Amino acid sequence: MFLDHVQLRVAAGHGGSGAMSFRREKFAPEGGPDGGDGGKGGSVFLRANRALNTLNPYRHKREFAADRGRQGEGSLRHGKDGVDILLEVPLGTLVKDGDTGEVLAELLEHGQDVCVARGGRGGLGNTHFKSSTNRTPRHHQPGEEGEARALDLELKLIADVGLVGFPNAGKSTLVSRLSAARPKIADYPFTTLEPQLGVVSLDRFGGDVLDSWVIADIPGLIEGAAGGAGLGIQFLRHVERTRVLLHLVDLSDPVTEPVDAIRIIEGEVETFSPVLAAKPRWLVGTKLDALQDDARREAFEALCAARGQKPIFISGVTGEGLRELAFGVDGLLKGGSGFAVDEEDR
């Protein structure tokens, strides 16, 4: 089960109290104060780990508390500090204060961490309060309380390319053909129930092994998704951080014309997020092997031409067009013009 949103409660440890103690030895029966300081309370940290891709570790346990600092002792012995808690989360986790909604951090790089609850400072022992007028101070400080707060964790997957389109448009098939990812594939809508990531390496198409990019597939969108219909809208956040969107259009769909499919999906994306809608978006005609109506192909070509885009046709079954798509996207990510038509070709 894919978990991408969770609320936690975290509490740092209280600081230990400082000690009140006096040196009492055989040859120093009236020795001065020697109370040690209390230990610092443990803090709570979040750290990004590339090995994780969901928030599932926090499905059942939602509350975490760090150790408190130990009390100081005589002979200037400092109390032991409380042990910190380190909670690991996937890259792309947005951390908010659960009460105020304030964004505390975005953890985007492996090993990046943030302190979300700081441990209390340990109290001072009575040795700190000795003076020329008070040689036997009995004052010592209690430790400070540790911070406690509610956290709202929201995962937004990090990928270069995001796929959008109707259910059964061929998104999962494309991910499986371009990468080593193995999403569930079947000939019915809503086969994909959770986001999938795949790493596309151009060496599988005869390119340089060092050239690669990450592609994200989300459950298909349907009309009314922005209002809660279907499944995909709750996962659109996972393509918000992508640099490019590929809009897959099933050319073999006997019910929905390409122009209607494009209009519906683009409307849902724009309703969800104007920022997402403003990203570079390229149309890809899928299931070319099952296309039997030349009029649909011609209509798709006209739609692409109106956008100043070369028509892109692929087949996940035969592999036709996949190499060109992979290299085209790679060039786009490197700052090229992608699939745009040159002015002289228009």
What is the pTM (predicted TM-score) of this model? 0.71
Task: Looking at the structure, tell me whether residues 3 and 103 fall in a common domain.
Answer: yes
Residues 104 and 215 both lie in one domain: no
For residue 148, the model assigns a pLDDT of: 97
Domain that holds residue 84: 1-155
Do 293 and 190 have their domain in common? yes
Report the DSSP pairing between strands 93-97 and 148-155: antiparallel
For residues 220 and 303, membership in a common domain is answered with yes
204 and 138 inside one domain: no
Residues 122 and 227 both lie in one domain:
no
Contacts with 226 (C-beta within 8 Å, 6 or more apart), sequence order:
233, 267, 268, 271, 272
Supply the pLDDT for residue 222: 53
Specify the pLDDT at position 156.
Answer: 83
Give the domain-ending residue among 140, 155, 170. Answer: 155
Please list, in sequence order, all residues whose beta carbon lies within 8 angstroms of the beta carbon of residue 142, skipping any fewer than 6 positions away. Answer: 17, 18, 38, 123
Q: What is the pLDDT of residue 180?
A: 74
CATH of the domain at 198: 3.40.50.300
CA distances from 50 to 53, 60, 107, 234 (A): 7, 22, 11, 23
Q: What is the count of structural domains for the chain? A: 2
CB 174 within 8 A of CB 320: no
pLDDT digits (tens, 9 = 90+) for 166-195: 888 888 889 888 887 664 444 434 444 567
Read off the pLDDT of residues 38-63 as tens digits, 9 standing for 90 and up: 999 999 999 999 888 788 899 899 99
| Domain-ending residue, one of 155, 171, 189 | 155
pLDDT value for 341: 77
Which CATH number belongs to the domain containing residue 67 in this structure? 2.70.210.12
pLDDT lower than 70: segments of the chain = 1-2, 28-29, 181-194, 219-235, 342-346
**∠ CA 116-121-127, rounded to 5°:** 170
Whether 145 and 221 map to the same domain: the answer is no
